[in-house]
Amino acid sequence: MSKKVQGNDSFQRINYLYQISKQMCTLNPGLSSYYGNLIVNIAKKNVLKIHPDVKRQMCKSCRCTLIANVTAKVSIKTKKKSKIIKWTCNTCGAKRSIPIQKNIDHCLWIDRPEAVVEVIN
């Protein structure tokens, strides 16, 4: 007998809303923002963590899905021997910067082996 994952239906709903948000961002950015807000609200209500890759593709202020050169402007800056990707949302104008190559050994916590407690099939 397999274990049930807590919040599995919520994760499926978040995934579905994310896919819709990504499709709608070019046609109607306002609707994409609405779906982005639904994603965050579902995660908060069920106390779930949104995957970092999904979080990085959403604007922090308007929650619209960010796609390079479609819904956001992307530029790469260099500061003190490290590179930074700067995202500027076309919908609300919010700016966001994500560091890259600051530390070659750097990886997200979720990607580390000690973060995985148990694998459920």
Q: What is the pLDDT of residues 30-45, one digit of tens each?
A: 999 999 999 999 999 9
Q: Which two tokens stand for residue 61?
A: 């202020």
DSSP letter assigned to residue 116: -
Q: Which residue has the tokens 């994603």?
A: 39
pLDDT at residue 2 is higher than 60: no
Residue 68's pLDDT is 92
Alpha helices (H) in 1-121, listed in sequence order: 8-24, 29-45, 52-56
Q: Is the dihedral of CA 10, 98, 24, 61 positive or negative?
A: positive
Average of pLDDT values for 61-85? 90
pTM for the predicted model, two decimal places: 0.77
Give dist(CA 68, CA 82) in Å, integer. 21
Q: Provide, rounded to the nearest whole percent, the portion of the chain with pLDDT above 70.
A: 92
Average of pLDDT values for 19-30? 93
Residue 7's pLDDT is 77
119 vs 65, which has greater pLDDT? 65
Q: Could you give the strand order of the β-sheet that contains 82-89, starting from the edge strand earlier in sequence?
A: 72-79, 82-89, 95-100
* Domain ranges (residues) in the chain: 8-115
Query: Helices 8-24 and 29-45 sit at what angle, rounded to 10 degrees?
Result: 170
Residue 3's pLDDT is 64
